[in-house]
Amino acid sequence: MNFDIHGPYEVKVDKLKHGRVIASNALAEMKAAIDNEALIAGCGCYVFALKTTRGHKPWYVGQAAKTKLLWEALSPRNKTIFTEVIAGNSGRPVLFLIPKLTPGGAFAAPTTRKAGLRAVDFLEDWMIAKALKRNPNLVNTHSTHFLKNLYVRGLYNAKPGKDTIAASALKQAIL
């Protein structure tokens, strides 16, 4: 299963007296900016981040396997989540799209096939784990409790201190 990466695409924001909100026409604006219907209507994952002077900081990872990628990324529910993120943090909101590709390299359409769903599910979980390491305040609730509380000596969420000989050997073998 292959995936590609597109973006970052700036998410339109309206400035109000009480702060910034994701613009009501953000979906239409981004659709026009991307201008690639196959990408917009494909399936895959997306990452909402804030661009600051220090780079991109992920705040939310999501997926669209059964629905169109851009529609899911900027759904009313997600716009509410993103508005809460930008209200308490500085930076320009951006969206990365990670569409699934067909074996021929075209953007894969939304699917209900098990194999396609498993690939998108796995990618979302993996990206949540990676994003959580970069931003412990990631707003995802799906999978994060497990990832925050999993501990493998010397490998995952390792606490400071001396590793055991076994932990050091395994770390050297797989990292």
Domain residue limits, the chain: 2-142, 151-175
Q: pLDDT tens, 16-67?
A: 878 899 999 999 999 999 989 999 999 999 999 999 999 999 999 999 999 9
pLDDT for the residue 32: 93
Q: pLDDT tens, 76-125?
A: 999 999 999 999 899 999 999 999 999 999 999 998 888 778 999 999 99
pLDDT for the residue 1: 84
Half-sphere exposure of 86 (CA within 13 A, CB side): 27
CA distance 27 to 33: 10
